[in-house]
Chains A and B, each alone.
Chain A
Amino acid sequence: MAEEIKAHITGVVFQVTAKVGDKVAAGDPVIVLESMKMEIPVEAPRAGAVKEVRVREGQTVQEGDTLVVLE
């Protein structure tokens, strides 16, 4: 089942650390958001392969926006 990884805060995408096809483990950072001078990693909730990356660096995202989709 595909799983969407959503932003838990509003911020700017500082770094995209996962790319399509990557195998990630639970707890691996897939995106790093920047908000109010803080860098906040968004972690994979479970192990899986990255199916889709929906954001690019420098993009502003709202809380709840989908960032990455796991297979």
Chain B
Amino acid sequence: MFRTVLVANRGEIARRVFRGCRALGLRTVAVYSEADRDAPHVQDADHAVLLGPSPARESYLSIERIVAAARESGAEAVHPGYGFLSENWRFAEACAQAGLTFIGPSAEAIRAMGDKPEARRRMAAAGVPIVPGSPEPIADAASAERVAGEIGYPVILKAAAGGGGIGMVKVATAGELTAAFATATRRAQSAFGSGQVYVERYLEAPRHVEVQVFGDTNGTVVHLHERECSIQRRHQKLVEESPAPNLDARTRRALTEAAVAGARAIGYVNAGTLEFLVDAQGGFYFLEMNTRLQVEHPVTEEVTGLDLVAAQLRVAAGEPLPFSQEKIEPRGAAVEVRVYAEDPARNFLPSPGTITRLALPGGEGIRLESGVVEGSVVSVHYDPLLFKLIARGADRAQAIERLARGLEACVVEGVKTTLPLLRTIAAHADFRRGRVHTQMVEQGAFHG
């Protein structure tokens, strides 16, 4: 086992990883930007290195500066957290070249899963279901019509070079296809500089369900069950829970088996997550793989009783997985909400500023992961996540009850937050019944 770990991140995740390191008796090194001189994560570490100016590209996104910080501080291993460089294969490679252990998968696995068409091809080859569609961009409206006829309507036309839902056109019937193809091509051209489009089956209000997987260097791959993360805005999650409610045992088993098969097929090592869309009929389709620790990993820790960060450190040091599939038994339920410095009343506009007052709940079944304290300055330069509130219960109803009470007790002054929306969600009948899907926030389900 290495003795010193540098965490190439900030905020709540840096603090979480430091805690995992301390549990194993490891020395910790923080890195920080000028904006983060007084940040809590800097105080938490045994040693801290200034990377550079506040903009992320000159600090937390600078591979060169982070590798240099690891060298100068005597760190032997680097934990990337999530976001920033965590899914940058060049960073994993640079660490390896500098003789540092990268706490995560191989650069090759990061590269393969980061290339979305390549990831779909690899997963399909491993028998993981993917959304039916054209494997290559479509040449013209006639070919689009032929493919759409094969996979069935409704379909969606997507920009090959695109992302973030931009330029997508839904097509309900064959009659609409020619006009829709022209629109999609034009939009793709203007937004991404390439008019190439794909055809895919359109999923009506699907759910987002993901599976936590973990592999070690001996080739063992296990799953740590699923998380339901459908409540999102702008394709970013707000609420996550485990187990997924209203998911029949057969679908649950098929999902976790597919995830393990997919991870095994690429020789995956360390923590990773396969994300799926699940339709109303229980059909599920691979979306993408996150080759890192997820923001929502505490939900899995709460129901399995396992420490995922400690397991990451052990596996990165070459030890076998500290748990076998048979020993991973979920108990009760857990739900997490993300409190962002954003104004839900103004379409989630960022709300930077100084936190003038902060009161956070505690007590039975409540866990908090916070990157901020009273007096913290929430900078324009980074992700707006302030803290996560996680509630555990003997069952889902108890977990949600604790979550709702915890949310009532949260006080944040000085910046606007997603707290009002999260309180509405926690009290909402559809959420309480576990009737959730990915379109809920945008469709206004939680207004008023």
Question: Which A residues fall within an 8 A CB radius of B?
Answer: 8-12, 34-38, 40, 60
B349 at the interface (CB under 8 A from A): yes
A34 contacts which chain B residues (CB < 8 A)?
Answer: 380
Q: Nearest 4 CB-CB pairs, A to B?
A: A36-B350, A35-B350, A36-B384, A35-B380
Minimum CB distance partner of A8 in chain B: B349
B383, A37: Cβ atoms closer than 8 Å: yes
Q: How far is the CA of A12 from the CA of B382 in the complex (A)?
A: 11
How many residues of chain B are within 8 Å of chain A by beta carbon?
13
A9, B350: Cβ atoms closer than 8 Å: yes
B447 at the interface (CB under 8 A from A): no
Minimum CB distance partner of A11 in chain B: B380
| Contact among B342, B350, B351, B380 for A60, CB-based, below 8 A | B380
8 contacts between A and B (CB under 8 A): A9-B349, A9-B351, A10-B350, A10-B352, A10-B353, A11-B350, A36-B341, A36-B383
Minimum CB distance partner of B379 in chain A: A36
B435 at the interface (CB under 8 A from A): no
B381 at the interface (CB under 8 A from A): yes
Q: How far is the CA of A12 from the CA of B352 in the complex (A)?
A: 12
Question: Distance (Å) between the CB of B112 and the closest chain A CB?
Answer: 25
By CB atoms of chain A within 10 A, which of B55, B353, B380, B381 has the most? B380
Q: How far is the CA of A11 from the CA of B353 in the complex (A)?
A: 11
A8 contacts which chain B residues (CB < 8 A)?
Answer: 349
**Binary A-proximity of B322-343 (CB < 8 A = 1, otherwise 0):** 0000000000000000000110
| Contact among B55, B350, B382, B384 for A40, CB-based, below 8 A | B350
Q: How far is the CA of A37 from the CA of B383 in the complex (A)?
A: 6
Minimum CB distance partner of A12 in chain B: B380
A10 contacts which chain B residues (CB < 8 A)?
Answer: 350, 352-353, 380
A40 contacts which chain B residues (CB < 8 A)?
Answer: 349-350
Question: Distance (Å) between the CB of B61 and the closest chain A CB?
Answer: 11
Question: Distance (Å) between the CB of B356 and the closest chain A CB?
Answer: 16
By CB atoms of chain B within 10 A, which of A10, A12, A36, A40 has the most? A36
B351 contacts which chain A residues (CB < 8 A)?
Answer: 9
Question: Distance (Å) between the CB of A37 and the closest chain B CB?
Answer: 5
Q: How far is the CA of A60 from the CA of B381 in the complex (A)?
A: 10
Q: How far is the CA of A35 from the CA of B384 in the complex (A)?
A: 9
Question: Distance (Å) between the CB of B33 and the closest chain A CB?
Answer: 14
**Binary A-proximity of B361-387 (CB < 8 A = 1, otherwise 0):** 000000000000000000011111000
Minimum CB distance partner of A38 in chain B: B350
Q: How far is the CA of A9 from the CA of B346 in the complex (A)?
A: 11
Q: How far is the CA of A36 from the CA of B350 in the complex (A)?
A: 6
B349 contacts which chain A residues (CB < 8 A)?
Answer: 8-9, 40
Q: How far is the CA of A40 from the CA of B246 in the complex (A)?
A: 37
Question: Distance (Å) between the CB of A4 and the closest chain B CB?
Answer: 20
Question: Distance (Å) between the CB of A5 and the closest chain B CB?
Answer: 16
B382, A36: Cβ atoms closer than 8 Å: yes
B353 contacts which chain A residues (CB < 8 A)?
Answer: 10
Q: Beyond A11-B350, A35-B350, A37-B383: 9 further Cβ-contacts under 8 Å? A: A9-B349, A9-B350, A10-B352, A10-B353, A11-B380, A34-B380, A36-B380, A40-B350, A60-B380
Q: How far is the CA of A37 from the CA of B379 in the complex (A)?
A: 11
Minimum CB distance partner of A40 in chain B: B349
A60 contacts which chain B residues (CB < 8 A)?
Answer: 380
Question: Distance (Å) between the CB of B305 and the closest chain A CB?
Answer: 33
Question: Distance (Å) between the CB of A34 and the closest chain B CB?
Answer: 8
Q: How far is the CA of A8 from the CA of B347 in the complex (A)?
A: 13
B350 contacts which chain A residues (CB < 8 A)?
Answer: 9-11, 35-36, 38, 40
B352, A37: Cβ atoms closer than 8 Å: no
A12 contacts which chain B residues (CB < 8 A)?
Answer: 55, 380-381
A9 contacts which chain B residues (CB < 8 A)?
Answer: 349-352
Q: How far is the CA of A12 from the CA of B380 in the complex (A)?
A: 7
B55 contacts which chain A residues (CB < 8 A)?
Answer: 12
Question: Distance (Å) between the CB of A6 and the closest chain B CB?
Answer: 14
A35 contacts which chain B residues (CB < 8 A)?
Answer: 350, 352, 380
A36 contacts which chain B residues (CB < 8 A)?
Answer: 341-342, 350, 352, 380-384
Minimum CB distance partner of A60 in chain B: B380
Q: How far is the CA of A60 from the CA of B341 in the complex (A)?
A: 18
Q: How far is the CA of A36 from the CA of B384 in the complex (A)?
A: 6
